[in-house]
């Protein structure tokens, strides 16, 4: 997997700035003031730059770039505006401004006694992500040798108390690795990330202390997961359910995380338009988030019980594929009329949600899925849609998302929407049409939640693979949700 940049912490030594080769960043002091003991030529150049129109326009978390700065051996110096009272989000954006400019060089960051140095480091690591597994030649390959491997940069933070910061940064490193794991999964092409390859990557996390079980098609059929199996019956890749368990809190009831893992979604017989179909490699984004969260919890040895379940299928239109008009029976026993084979994710989740509740008796259930285009129409690419039958759980998710700077917005559920998924022939149909599309999808899923079971559904279709770079991620997969759910576990489910 893609590894986060190596970050080390050392005591501040201003004289190292003058002799450092590579790139450097300077976190400005209170009111944008430069720290003392800078080379005279550098101080003059930096003062002039900060007094310019661009310098005066710097907002918290933004950086001004000086190329080949006077008085330094470094090829670049970043002047980073971050007031002492800056928010966590501003600090992470400041780090991201540095991380976006690593360029394979050794980066020296002078953070001094800034209390947000840890958040700066996390933002730097997250924005420094670069998925280059399939590039044989990089755009910045100046010598033309065809070596596409990204040089692994190093980052040194000069801070007031490096030992303390290094200890607190361990959990942040685990979080960054979980986010990177999710991003890698979402960025992988479907001819590589088959259902089998996905399951193998999750099995490999046994070495971290996770209990991992792969349930194959024969057992899935015996369990009655006919809705899930119907989705994948047109694919050469076998359908699977993978269960990951982290037991860090004795005999407490676990939090169950359930993820939609459609490794490629052609739409099936209700085939999607060709334009943009290549992005349907990201339709396993919910499963990717669950996997990344489980990796993070294991790496930081979380004092919580969490079980992650992912339904891995591929939706393809061959002669065995399910058809519009088919009726399938779920593990719960409810029958579903398939109106549109492109509304397949809810069929996968229906069976896995029911299995999670029957098998693990969880304290709460949260599912994540790139479920509907309708949520993008409603919320764009800035917010995931949150639906819940439990106000406390919904509030916990929204609070965690705010704390981590990940956008989320609660949308309604209600019995009035049930009429839209009423079937003439079966207990329900799998789509209610264009009106309230993300809501009827959630309403469908709620039918597979037992009475009294706290549950939330998060539709991440708009935030998983946005059309442009975000504050903390380059263009491509964001890993949205790993930080939010890790925070939720810390705040609501982790033993003290």
Active site residues: 272, 346
How many angstroms separate the CA atoms of 191 and 189, rounded?
6
CA 188 to chain centre: 14
How many angstroms separate the CA atoms of 459 and 440, rounded?
12
Tokens found for residue 216? 């194959």
Of 2, 155, 172, 131, the C-alpha closest to 78 is 155
Q: Tokens 């999808």 identify what position?
A: 441
The answer to whether 254 touches 302, Cβ cutoff 8 Å, is: no
How many angstroms separate the CA atoms of 277 and 255, rounded?
34
The answer to whether 345 touches 262, Cβ cutoff 8 Å, is: yes
How many angstroms separate the CA atoms of 370 and 358, rounded?
24
CA distances from residue 61 to 8, 17, 42, 471 in whole angstroms, order as listed: 21, 21, 22, 10
Of 175, 65, 56, the C-alpha closest to 123 is 175
Of 5, 298, 9, the C-alpha closest to 167 is 9
How many angstroms separate the CA atoms of 398 and 382, rounded?
14
Where are the strands (E) in 277-383, listed by range?
305-315, 327-329, 335-337, 364-369
The answer to whether 265 touches 342, Cβ cutoff 8 Å, is: yes
């Amino acid at each position: 997997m893609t590894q986060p940049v190596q970050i080390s912490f050392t005591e501040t030594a201003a004289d190292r700035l003058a002799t450092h080769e590579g790139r450097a960043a300077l976190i400005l002091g209170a009111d944008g003031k430069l720290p003392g003991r800078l080379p005279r030529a550098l101080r003059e150049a930096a003062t002039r730059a900060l007094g310019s129109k661009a310098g005066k326009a710097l907002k918290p978390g933004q950086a001004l770039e000086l190329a080949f700065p006077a008085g330094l051996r470094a090829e670049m110096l970043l002047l980073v505006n971050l007031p002492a009272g800056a928010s966590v989000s501003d600090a992470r954006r400041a780090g991201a401004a540095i991380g976006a400019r690593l360029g394979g060089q050794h980066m020296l960051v002078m953070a001094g006694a800034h209390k947000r140095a840890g958040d700066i480091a996390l933002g730097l690591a997250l924005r420094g992500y670069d998925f280059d597994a399939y590039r044989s030649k990089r755009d910045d390959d100046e010598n033309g040798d065809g070596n596409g491997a990204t040089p692994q940069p190093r980052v040194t933070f000069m801070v007031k108390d490096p030992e303390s910061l290094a200890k607190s940064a361990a959990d942040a490193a685990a979080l960054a690795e979980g986010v990177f794991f999710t991003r890698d999964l979402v960025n992988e092409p479907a001819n590589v990330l088959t259902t089998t390859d996905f399951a193998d990557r999750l099995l490999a996390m046994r070495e971290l202390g996770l209990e991992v079980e792969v349930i194959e098609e024969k057992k899935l059929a015996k369990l009655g997961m006919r809705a899930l199996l119907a989705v994948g019956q047109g694919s050469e890749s076998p359908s699977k359910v993978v269960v990951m368990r982290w037991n860090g809190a004795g005999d407490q009831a676990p939090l169950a995380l359930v993820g939609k893992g459609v490794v490629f979604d052609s739409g099936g017989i209700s085939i999607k338009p060709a334009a943009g179909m290549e992005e349907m490699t990201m339709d396993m984004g919910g499963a990717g988030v669950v996997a990344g969260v489980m990796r993070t919890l294991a790496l930081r040895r979380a004092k919580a019980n969490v079980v992650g379940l992912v339904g891995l299928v591929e939706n393809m239109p061959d002669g065995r594929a399910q058809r519009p008009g088919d009726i399938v029976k779920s593990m719960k026993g409810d029958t579903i009329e398939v109106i549109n084979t492109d509304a397949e994710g809810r069929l996968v989740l229906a069976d896995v949600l029911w299995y999670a509740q029957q098998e693990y008796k969880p304290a709460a259930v949260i599912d994540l899925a790139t479920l509907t285009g309708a949520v993008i129409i409603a919320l764009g690419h800035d917010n995931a849609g949150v639906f819940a039958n439990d106000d406390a759980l919904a509030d916990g998710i929204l609070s965690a998302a705010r704390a981590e700077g990940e956008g989320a917005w609660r949308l309604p559920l209600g019995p009035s929407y049930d009429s839209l998924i009423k079937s003439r022939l079966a207990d329900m149909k799998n789509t209610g049409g264009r009106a309230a599309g993300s809501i009827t999808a959630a309403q469908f899923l709620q039918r597979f939640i037992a009475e009294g079971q706290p549950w939330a559904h998060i539709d991440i279709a708009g935030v998983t693979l946005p059309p442009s770079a975000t504050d903390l991620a380059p263009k491509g997969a964001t890993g949205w949700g790993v930080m939010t759910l890790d925070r939720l576990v810390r705040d609501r489910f982790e033993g003290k």
